[in-house]
Structure 1
Amino acid sequence: MRIWLDTEFNGFGGELISIGMVDEHERPFYAVLECTAPTPWVAENVIPKLAFDSIDRPALQMAMRRYLCQFNEIEVIADWPEDLAHFCALLITAPGECMALPPLTMTLCTYAPEPSEYPHNALHDARALRKAAMRGLL
């Protein structure tokens, strides 16, 4: 199953704020983490678009595992390396422990040909990536 991924984070190299994923059949996953000290740009452009209450990291990881384990194989597709880095960091559940998942690969496509309908919302941006891929633009 191909799954398109987008994340929002607190500035370059900053902590994860939200993660959005959508599969080939448009089944979504979206979660938000608390951001207590957003950068000015993030406070203006990302925080107002989160649209969900925040949960803690272990709850996000549990929900993400449930979402991903419904598939037999997974290809995660993103358009920015930091999205994949945040995704991979969520796979680590404790020192020396990783989330048990079906076989998983990752693909980085380094441009998005069309903007999201609601930019800087991770789920809407993931949907835009999926839409572009389904139209053959990626």
Structure 2
Amino acid sequence: MKLFLDCEFNGFGGELISLALVDEQGQFFYEVLPCATPKDWVSQHVLPKLNKAPIAKQDFQKKLGQFLNQYTHLHIIADWPEDLSLFSRALILSAGKCMVTPPLIMELWLQQDQVAIFSETPHYALSDAQALAKAYLSNQAEN
């Protein structure tokens, strides 16, 4: 199953704030983690759009695992490398312990012609993941 990924994070290289995955049928995962000391830009442009209360990391990982394990295989697609990095880190439960998932591949989808992906609500991970899904699937239908 193709899952389209978007994350919001606390500035360049910062910790994960929210993560969204949208499948090809529109089913989605969206959760928010606490951000104790947000950067000014994040406070102004990301936090007001979260639309959900933060949950503990352990609860986040439990819900993510439940969502991922409903599929038989996973093809995670993102349009930014840091999203793949943050997703990968979310799979790490503790030292030497990783979440068990179905077979998983990741794809970084960077469009050669830099066609813009239009999100209805930019910097809201769920809206951005939905926009990525629409753009990717539209592109695949054209080719």
Task: Identify the TM-score tier after normalising by the shorter chain.
Answer: over 0.9
5 Å matches for 1:1-138? 1-111=1-111, 113-136=116-139
CA offsets 1:45-99 (integer angstroms, 9 cap, x no match):
0000000000011100000000000000000000011000000001111110111
**Alpha-carbon shift at residue 113 of structure 1 (Å):** 2.8
**Alpha-carbon shift at residue 115 of structure 1 (Å):** 1.8
TM-score by length of 1: 0.96
Stretches of 4+ aligned residues off by more than 4 angstroms: none
Q: Identity rate of aligned residues, in percent?
A: 46
SS class of match (1:38): coil
RMSD over aligned CA atoms reads: 1.3
User: What runs of 5+ residues in structure 2 fail to find an aligned partner?
Assistant: none
The one-letter amino acid of 1:120's match is H
- Paired with 2:33 and 2:11, the residues of 1 have a C-alpha distance of 15
- Paired with 1:60 and 1:110, the residues of 2 have a C-alpha distance of 28
Count of paired positions:
138
- Paired with 1:123 and 1:28, the residues of 2 have a C-alpha distance of 8
- Paired with 1:106 and 1:94, the residues of 2 have a C-alpha distance of 22
The one-letter amino acid of 1:12's match is F
User: What runs of 5+ residues in structure 1 fail to find an aligned partner?
Assistant: none
TM-score by length of 2: 0.93
